[in-house]
Structure 1
Amino acid sequence: MKHIKLPIDFSDLLKGKGKKECSLEESIAQYIMMLIISRYGEVAGKDDFGSDIWELEFNQLVKIYEWEEKVRLSLVHAITKYEKRLSDIKVVVSLSEVDTDVDSKTYSQIRRKAIIGVSGNIVQTGVPFSFDTSIYVSPLSQ
């Protein structure tokens, strides 16, 4: 089975160059990344496609461990429901503060960085699967 590499370059398709393909592992990783960065309701007909990241993005009242657990549970639910090519899914979420130097002489900006790890087994082959990413979320104003 062939898998389409994202993002799709429609200009190449219109020129007849064909679509770019990727491995099964890359396809799963791309789909998980879509789940991570999508807001609920963003995908028509799938109101629970996505994660809690964007629901919690600027909520300053949630403690870090609560934020991590809410996002982790939302990703476990979404991946289990929408990524049927994986089994035995485990998700780890860690939130940290990162000092990004905008202009080290004038000021720096503290931001939050979410480190997300997903592991499981590929149903088709039984091979272990692992995916790690990190994304910056809301500026920290606490």
Structure 2
Amino acid sequence: MSEKFFNKPFRLNAVFSGTGLQAADLGRSISNHIELIIFTRYGEHRFQNSFGCEIWDLDFELIVSESIWEEQFRKSLLKSITDYEFRIYNTSVDIHITEVENIYPLRQITEIKKKVDISVRALIKTTGEKYFFSTALFLSPLST
């Protein structure tokens, strides 16, 4: 059975001009779907309230313990990927928070942001190949 996967974002002007949507390979399609899970808040998907992850609820929380925050987010993301991405199995998720400091000397501002590194490792069901996904997000900037 031949499956077609498409790249995001969809370029609808290509559809209307007759060239069609840009195709993506299986790995890119899985990565696109995991990004969608990360960037979707619980309850945002009209027909599937449990689609998404907890990052949007955790973003504005005061992080008392980074390890507890990382574990809570990791569990949320792992559950969503396991529930909604059926093309991979044996999935593991790693989350790490670091602080990034940006200094703007002209404005005399120092900005400290929390950076969240996300990595997902799994196996692709159809081929048995190893799959790896990595991205980083910045949370609530703190400025002085």
Which of the five TM-score ranges fits, normalised by the shorter chain?
Answer: over 0.9
Q: In structure 1, how many angstroms separate the alpha carbons of the residues matched to 2:63 and 2:21?
A: 45
Task: Identify the residue that residue 96 of structure 2 maps to in structure 1.
Answer: 94
1:114 to 116, 124, 130: 116
Q: In structure 2, how many angstroms separate the alpha carbons of the residues matched to 1:50 and 1:2?
A: 24
Q: In structure 2, how many angstroms separate the alpha carbons of the residues matched to 1:83 and 1:35?
A: 9
Equivalent residue letter for 2:44: E
Task: Identify the residue that residue 35 of structure 1 maps to in structure 2.
Answer: 37
Residue 19 (str. 1) matches residue 21 (str. 2): yes
> Which stretch of the first structure deviates more once superposed, 39-48 or 85-94?
39-48
Which consecutive segments of 4 or more residues in structure 1 shift more than 6 A?
Answer: none
Task: Identify the residue that residue 104 of structure 1 maps to in structure 2.
Answer: 105
What SS does structure 2 have at the residue aligned with 1:111? strand
Residue 84 (str. 1) matches residue 86 (str. 2): yes
Instruction: Name structure 1 gaps, 5 residues minimum.
Output: none
Equivalent residue letter for 2:68: E
What SS does structure 1 have at the residue aligned with 2:90? strand
**How far does residue 94 in structure 1 lie from its aligned partner after superposition?**
0.4
**How far does residue 61 in structure 1 lie from its aligned partner after superposition?**
4.8
- The percent of aligned pairs where both chains have the same amino acid is 34
After superposition, residues 49-88 of structure 1 pair within 5 angstroms as 49-88=51-90
Residues 63, 69 of structure 2: 8 Å contact kept: no
List per-residue Cα deviations over 1:61-114 (Å, max 9, x = no partner). Answer: 54211110011000110000000000000000001111123x224011101110
Aligned residues: 140
TM-score scaled by structure 2? 0.92
Q: In structure 1, how many angstroms separate the alpha carbons of the residues matched to 2:91 and 2:71?
A: 15
What SS does structure 2 have at the residue aligned with 1:119? strand
What SS does structure 2 have at the residue aligned with 1:59? coil
Task: Identify the residue that residue 4 of structure 2 maps to in structure 1.
Answer: 2
Instruction: Name structure 2 gaps, 5 residues minimum.
Output: none
List per-residue Cα deviations over 1:38-71 (Å, max 9, x = no partner). Answer: 1111111111111111001111154211110011
Q: In structure 1, how many angstroms separate the alpha carbons of the residues matched to 2:76 and 2:64?
A: 15
Equivalent residue letter for 1:134: A
RMSD, matched Cα: 1.3
